[in-house]
Chains A and B, each alone.
Chain A
């Protein structure tokens, strides 16, 4: 593919330099999708360690019954900020980073469709998180009412409250801009011949995710705006005393919150659907059904929200509806898992680090899916709701689910991005430590929840001691194992064995036709997809 001679789309449309600006300004003013992708990924990694540190404070306090390290109020700030940082700072930006790096390269586009907006959507985030985390140092401390921000409790937040709301607004704006960019890129910049049903699955899952984002982030913005006016401007949206209803907030929040859960997992499905075929050396089984399953999950995500609220006292008919709708999600999710297993079936598999993470994803995410199905059963949910069983459930789908898919993606595409192979031995050690650590960390939490330990408590009754200790040991093992990943990534960026263009023997797709690392501008002339 000869791209050098043609005038570039970038040059004419956006007046870019041929290469990056020198020095720090490169990163501040960049509109290049690869630079912005890198910024997102590094930001997300930073947030992953900050959120992880909060988690270790939580686990350290819970190592033994009694209060040892932090007071209950600070503990609540840790649980709240751990969630906000991990959801909005680590997982979501990491997937946006992958989207930035990969979508143009996968569909044969020269860049994202709206490069300047791309720059803004990234640079809003560091400010939002500076604002959010600085509340820890205000009088009264940071937000301590849980990431779900339920009123009336959240209205008891001190000086931090308006900052938290503003930070959430900024993150919402950032996500919405990112999502608009993704949709515009995928719909308008595909190379000739790249029909929708030829797009790699990662592109498909991101397209659907982006629509979810623009559908629900504004709803969250509305909900927190109402909180703000309730606290400062005398409205009574959620105040029963003024004719409002605190439960209404929960409905609005989870109308955002449940699709949000899929925003964090659908791109992970996309990543896994890229990686398993590569290392099985066999095309993805059931491509079309994967697309339909992803769409069905996205649709269902809008009609199941109240399964987070079975205990608020809904009428029986409502409980039944939300129980049935939630159970239905198991069907398309099952289809995905079956398709992945069928892709492996009669392949010729090798087990490099990305594949190991992908296989662990399939197993451990499915375990999270099983506990999700159990939680969907409304009568049993009365016993599970707000216990460590729920904590175990959503951490299984988010950590060995979303986060493992991000690890898999990082190892899988790092050679393409940097031009160097990562240290495979160290990658495998990182995998095994992570997979062992994560299970020691979260599996006992199922038992704790079933035995009756509520979530979000800084201290617990004596019968919960052993499993909390085990869980804490797992947390530190898992947490510190991630330093290996950090080291491996840094070393790979700095140098290492030169990666080939295709990198992986079984890799297919446009991004693997580019050099490793790809030049600053790629596909300035669109490739033709047969």
Chain B
């Protein structure tokens, strides 16, 4: 009697342990799944002002809203261990939603050897990020700089007229990171 119970308890244990291990493995996977989930959430909510490093897929023409003016501020940051000089050409622009604008950032390799870096964009306020369309941007690709090279890096952008009407100022920030070995 007891022996039979013991055997069936053993089988029940094995079944249960299998299920629990499955949950464990699934949750381990979930930890990694949070990475793409988070990226999608960032795209939707503008969490952290992420604009995405990618180009806008389809550049559809938009009605230009001449009546409305939005201030776009340009900010440059250098991550530690990135031996560049890096600055926007202009500190800010007055733009109309729907219209294309071009500006550029200036960067100079301060070292005597070639460097690889990439600029990471961030937009504030975060909710405006999805309405800030970059048609051309140096941030889409990694940038190779020759020794001492100084370069103008263009940004072509447009503000989506669907930008919430209470947003009057948008800040576009780039942080330059060094990508080769000693990035810090």
A positions within 8 Å CB-CB of B: 6-9, 12-13, 113-114, 176, 179-180, 183-184, 187-189, 214-223, 225-226, 237, 240-243, 245, 247-248, 251-252, 255, 312-315, 317-318, 525
Contact = CB atoms under 8 A, between A and B. Distances in A.
Nearest to B10: A13
A241 B17 contact: no
A248 B38 contact: yes
Contacts, number: 118
Given A12-B3, A218-B24, A245 B16 contact: no
Nearest to A10: B6
B79 to A, nearest CB: 6
Contact of A183 (B20, B29, B118): B20
A317 B45 contact: yes
Contact of A9 (B5, B46, B177): B5
B179 A241 contact: yes
B158 interface: no
A267 to B, nearest CB: 18
Interface of B: 2-3, 5-6, 9-10, 12-13, 16-17, 20-21, 23-32, 34-35, 38, 42, 45-50, 53, 79, 118, 120, 126-127, 175, 177-179, 183
7 contacts: A184-B16, A217-B27, A222-B31, A242-B118, A245-B48, A248-B34, A315-B45
B48 A114 contact: no
Contacts of A314: 47
Given A184-B17, A240-B175, A241-B79, A226 B24 contact: no
Nearest to B11: A188
4 nearest interchain CB pairs? A222-B31, A241-B177, A218-B28, A218-B27
Contacts of A247: 47-48
Nearest to B80: A152
A13 B30 contact: no
A176 B25 CA distance: 11
Contact of B120 (A215, A216, A240, A313): A240
**From DSSP, what is the main secondary structure of chain A's interface residues?**
helix
Contacts of A216: 27
Contacts of A184: 13, 16-17, 20
A221 B3 CA distance: 39
A33 to B, nearest CB: 15
Contact of A219 (B5, B28, B45): B28
Given A214-B20, A214-B24, A313-B48, A223 B12 contact: no
A180 B20 contact: yes
Given A180-B20, A241-B178, A242-B179, A313 B28 contact: no
A504 B9 CA distance: 34
A424 to B, nearest CB: 41
B75 to A, nearest CB: 15
Contact of B24 (A176, A188, A241, A252): A176
B22 to A, nearest CB: 10
Nearest to B177: A241
Contacts of B13: 113-114, 184, 188
A243 B16 contact: no
Contact of B2 (A180, A188, A525): A525
B31 to A, nearest CB: 2
A113 B178 CA distance: 54
Given A6-B2, A176-B24, A218-B25, A223 B31 contact: yes
B118 A255 contact: no
Nearest to A221: B28
A216 B13 CA distance: 22
B20 A226 contact: no
Nearest to B119: A241
A216 B23 CA distance: 10
Given A7-B3, A218-B24, A255-B34, A189 B9 contact: yes
A525 B3 CA distance: 11
Given A13-B10, A114-B13, A241-B79, A221 B31 contact: yes
Nearest to A155: B184
A6 B178 CA distance: 73
B27 A219 contact: yes
A252 B36 CA distance: 12
A214 B47 contact: no
A9 B6 contact: yes
A248 B33 CA distance: 12
A271 to B, nearest CB: 24
Given A113-B13, A184-B17, A243-B120, A251 B24 contact: no
A342 to B, nearest CB: 36
A7 B47 contact: no
Nearest to B122: A240
A13 B178 CA distance: 61
Contacts of B50: 245
A219 B6 contact: no
B6 A12 contact: yes
B25 A241 contact: no
A196 to B, nearest CB: 15
Contacts of A187: 16
B2 A7 contact: yes
A184 B16 CA distance: 7
B45 A218 contact: no
B38 A315 contact: no
Contacts of A248: 34-35, 38
A344 B64 CA distance: 72
Contacts of B30: 218-219, 222
A231 B127 CA distance: 32
A210 to B, nearest CB: 9
A222 B177 contact: no
B167 to A, nearest CB: 13
Interface centre among B5, B16, B20 (most CB of A within 10 A): B20
Nearest to A6: B2
A225 B16 CA distance: 27
A113 B126 CA distance: 51
Nearest to A216: B27
A525 B12 CA distance: 19
Contacts of A317: 45
Nearest to A185: B13
Given A222-B29, A222-B34, 13 more contacts: A7-B2, A12-B3, A13-B10, A215-B23, A217-B24, A220-B31, A221-B28, A221-B31, A222-B30, A225-B31, A241-B178, A242-B177, A255-B34
Contacts of B26: 218
B52 to A, nearest CB: 9
